[in-house]
Amino acid sequence: MRQARRNETEQRRRRWVRRLALLFLMLGLVWVIGLIAFVTRIPRSGDIDTTATDAAVVLTGGSERLEAGLELLANGHAKKLLISGVNKDIDLATLLGALEPAEIPKLSPETIACCIALGYSAEDTRGNAVETADWMRQQKFKSIRLITAAYHMPRSMLEFHRAMPGVQVLPYPVFPRQVRQEGWWRWPGTTNLLVREYNKYLVALLRGLVLPGDAGLAPVRP
């Protein structure tokens, strides 16, 4: 009798182990399919729209982003430029001084003084979106071009659409040379980067479902 009960308990335990293993296998498969779908959503070099917008925002994180924002401002594709997520000890002169002279578009001192703003409060992508939404309300702007690395664009667009639903947000990706989008699975560094970014995207997506809405506005220094 006791042996029969032990056998039944062991069989029940094995069934639960198999079910859990199957569940984790299915979740892993869904995660991999989602990763592939996520990577296909990352913009390619030919996916750039140059339609004029009221403003452009650069998310700090690479000189290519700042250079692209300055070029858009110099070419008249945006009326004003916000640089979001700037370190509190850094001013505009320091940011521009970090660029190679050949990378800085020709901008008059008047344009630099009137049309470039620095945001100091954002510490992550969600903070960038909230900070930019506050600035857009101050400026009464209705359209903006979002400048960040291509691999960062899906999560950035998610956060920006969530923070400013009434604003037209156009992506303007830049392409860091060290990120190999073509054949990304063959490059361990790029693979690790995309996996981390995909996981962050999932967290942002779930956070929006569980905690809808953003709280707090970020000050922007003109």
Mean pLDDT, residues 126-149: 96
d(CA 194, CA 208): 21
Pair type for strands 116-119 and 220-221: antiparallel
Q: What is the CATH number of domain 53-221?
A: 3.40.50
d(CA 16, CA 143): 53
Q: What is the pLDDT of residue 11?
A: 75
Residue 150 CA to chain centroid, in angstroms? 8
Q: Is the pLDDT of residue 135 over 80?
A: yes
Summarised one tens digit per residue, pLDDT across range 184-213 is: 999 999 999 999 999 999 999 998 888 765
Q: Is the pLDDT of residue 215 over 60?
A: no
Mean pLDDT, residues 103-121: 86
Summarised one tens digit per residue, pLDDT across range 20-77 is: 888 888 988 999 999 999 999 999 876 677 788 999 999 998 888 999 999 999 989 9
Q: What is the pLDDT of residue 216?
A: 44
Partners of residue 145 on adjacent β-strands: 56, 170
Q: Is the pLDDT of residue 172 over 60?
A: yes
Summarised one tens digit per residue, pLDDT across range 61-105 is: 888 899 999 999 998 999 999 999 999 999 998 888 888 776 677
Pair type for strands 116-119 and 143-149: unpaired
d(CA 11, CA 205): 39
Mean pLDDT, residues 168-187: 92
d(CA 44, CA 143): 22
pTM of the model: 0.84
8 Å CB contact between 126 and 204 = yes
Beta strands in the chain (DSSP E): 53-59, 78-84, 116-119, 143-149, 168-174, 220-221
